[in-house]
Structure 1
Amino acid sequence: MREEGFSPSNFSELKEEFTYPAKKLKILKKVEELMARVINAEKVLNEMKEMKTMTREIRDKCTSFSNRLDQLEERVSAIEDQMNEMKREEKPKEK
């Protein structure tokens, strides 16, 4: 700022000197706000990746459990078939 002092002719220059830091401060605040939003978005993405991994693990465990249940049902069915066969064989012996 010049040492001329205040006059209506240099008012716009004086106004610009005070306005520029305010504009700069607004820009910095906006940048900080955007950075905070980016950081939050990164956190959300990381949490979503963890949830996706957990979901995949749960799905795999459910698939494994389902396969084991199918095997168990097959074994029970085979045992029932054997028991029915044994009952059929015993009936003629009883007569």
Structure 2
Amino acid sequence: MREEGFSPSNFSELKEELHTQRKETKNLEKKVEELMARIINAEKVINEMKEMKTMTREIRDKCTSFSNRLDQLEERVSAIEDQMHEMKREEKPKEK
């Protein structure tokens, strides 16, 4: 039994349409795969940047700590220098 209006030429057109749709679907699948790969790469870059940000904070904190230690050391050196100058002043009158 055949449906009304169905002919071999309609079948050929339908077959061609299916073939075209298959090609378009494959192209879309390929684009989706490419986009997924790009998203995965972007996620990796974001994670690396987060790690770098964390490392940068750690380095900054260590630099701040080191700077604070240097400031404390400079204060100690300055206090010792002041004591040395005071001792020299006290020794000068004894020498005369």
Settle same-fold status: TM greater than 0.5.
yes
Match of 1:31 in 2: 32
Q: Distance in 2 between matches of 1:17 and 1:66?
A: 72
RMSD across aligned positions (CA): 1.4
- Which consecutive unaligned segments of at least 5 residues does structure 1 have? none
Q: Distance in 2 between matches of 1:53 and 1:12?
A: 61
Q: Which amino acid aligns with 1:70?
A: D
Normalised by the size of structure 2, how large is the TM-score? 0.87
Secondary structure (helix, strand or coil) at the match of 1:58 reads helix
Q: Distance in 2 between matches of 1:30 and 1:61?
A: 46
Name which of structure 1's ranges 66-75 and 11-20 shifts more when overlaid on structure 2: 11-20
Q: Distance in 2 between matches of 1:17 and 1:78?
A: 90
Q: Distance in 1 between matches of 2:44 and 2:21?
A: 35
Structure 1 position 15, deviation (Å): 1.5
* Aligned-pair identity (%): 74
- Which consecutive unaligned segments of at least 5 residues does structure 2 have? 1-6
